[in-house]
Structure 1
Amino acid sequence: MIVSPQDKNKIKQMNPLVLAFVGDGVETLFVRAKVALSGDAKANALHKKASAEVNAHAQSEQAERVLPYLTEEEKDVFLRARNSKSRHHAKNFSVTDYRRASGWEAVIGYLYLTGEIDRLKELFELMEKI
C-alpha cells in the first residue's frame, strides 16, 4: 500500500469518476503484475495479455460477474460512477460497457484509497474464479 488509508466519508465525497481514474491504475498494476509472473518474458506479449483484461469491454464483463458479491457500500460507489455523465467514452467500446467499467474501476479506487486492501484482493481473486 503506497497511499495511507483515507477517511471513508472523505472518499465518498469524491467525484466517482476520480475514483474510477484511481481504480484504473490499481487494476492495471494488478493485471500487469499477474501477467509478468505468468512466465512469458517478452514485453510485447505481456502488454497484449494485460490489454486484453484492462479495457472497457473486459472490465464491463468483470463488473457483471462480481456485482452480486459487492457490499451495499460498494454497490453504491459502483452505481454512482456508472451513472455519472462523462464527456467521452472508449471509441472501440459501447457506452454501456464504458459506464459499467467506470463503475467497477470506481469500486477498486474506493477500496484502495480507504485502505481496504484485503477486500480488494478478495474481489480480484473472486474475479479470477468466476
Structure 2
Amino acid sequence: MFAGNGCRNQGGIIISDNIDGKLDANSLSALALAFVGDSVFDLFIRTMLVGSGKKVRDLHKEAVGYVKASAQAAILKALEPKLTSEERDIVRNARNAKVNTIPKHADIMEYHYSTAFEALLGYLYLTGQNRRLNEILLLAYNKDLQ
C-alpha cells in the first residue's frame, strides 16, 4: 500500500524514509516533539482500534479514552521506571516546557505529563528508534504497564 511513495509500514506505524537521519530531533523544541508525538499516538491508537468492527462513533469514544491528557499522563507515570536515561531527559524537558494553552478538561499537571509522553513518542519516531517506539506504544495500548 505504501511502497514507492517514500514510506514503509513498520509494525503498525508508517515510517517516512526521508526522516531517517535527515532531521535532527535534538534541535527541536519539546513542544515540537510533542506535536509529532501526538499524531504518532493518535494514528497508532486508531489503527489498533479500527479492525474491531465497531461503529465509528464508538471507535472515537474508545480512542479518546487513550489519547486524553489524563490517560497519557497515567501511561507516562507507569512507564517512567522503564525509561532509559535519554528518554527520561526528553520527558523531563518536555514536562517542564512552557505551554500556552491547557485544554479545559485537563489539569495542568496532567497536561504537562501528557505533553511529555507525546514528546517522547515524537522523539523516538523522528530518531528512527522504531523498535522502542512500538514497544512503548504496545505497552500503552495493552495497558501492560506494571
Q: 1:19 corresponds to which residue?
A: 33
- When the two chains are superposed, the root-mean-square deviation of aligned CA atoms in Å is 1.4
Q: What amino acid maps onto 2:46 in structure 1?
A: R
Distance 2:104 2:39 in 1: 19
Q: Which has the higher helix share?
A: 1
- CA deviation after TM superposition for structure 1 residue 51, in Å: 0.9
TM-score, reference length from structure 1: 0.93
Distance 2:52 2:136 in 1: 20
Distance 1:4 1:53 in 2: 26
- CA deviation after TM superposition for structure 1 residue 7, in Å: 5.8
Question: Is 1:6–2:21 an aligned residue pair?
Answer: yes
Q: Which has the higher strand share?
A: 2
Which runs of 5 or more structure 1 residues have no equivalent in the other structure? none
Distance 2:137 2:121 in 1: 9
Structure index of larger Rg: 2
Q: 1:35 corresponds to which residue?
A: 49
Q: 1:115 corresponds to which residue?
A: 128
Greater RCO (CA < 8 Å, at least 6 residues apart): 1
Q: What amino acid maps onto 2:127 in structure 1?
A: T
SS in 1 for 2:105: coil
Q: What amino acid maps onto 2:35 in structure 1?
A: F
- CA deviation after TM superposition for structure 1 residue 59, in Å: 0.4
Distance 1:94 1:49 in 2: 21
Which runs of 5 or more structure 2 residues have no equivalent in the other structure? 1-14
Which among 69, 83, 95 is matched to residue 56 of structure 1?
Answer: 69
For 1:61-106, what per-residue CA distance to the aligned partner results, in whole angstroms no more than 9, with x for missing partners? 0111111111111110111111001111111110000000000000
**How many residue pairs are counted as aligned between the two chains?**
128
Q: What amino acid maps onto 2:88 in structure 1?
A: K
Q: 2:137 corresponds to which residue?
A: 124
